[in-house]
Homo-oligomer: A and B are copies of this chain.
Amino acid sequence: MVAKKRTEMMAENRARLIAAARKSFAEKGFAGASMDDLTAQAGLTRGALYHNFGDKRGLLAAVVNQIDGEMATRAQKTGAQKTDPWDGLLAEGVAYIEMALDPEVQRIVLLDGPAVLGDPSQWPSQNQCLIETRNRVAQLIDQGVLKPVDADAAARLLSGAALNAALWIAASDSPADVLPKAREAFCALASGLRLGQP
Contacts and interface: CB of A to CB of B under 8 A. Distances in A.
Interface of A: 29-31, 110-112, 114-116, 118-119, 121-122, 147, 149-150, 152-154, 156-165, 167-168, 170-172, 178, 181-182, 184-186, 188-194, 196-198
B118 A115 contact: no
B171 A121 contact: yes
Tell me the interface secondary structure of chain A in the complex. helix
B156 A165 contact: yes
A185 B31 contact: no
A143 to B, nearest CB: 17
Contact of A153 (B31, B112, B185, B198): B185
Contact of A189 (B116, B154, B165): B154
Contacts of A158: 161, 189
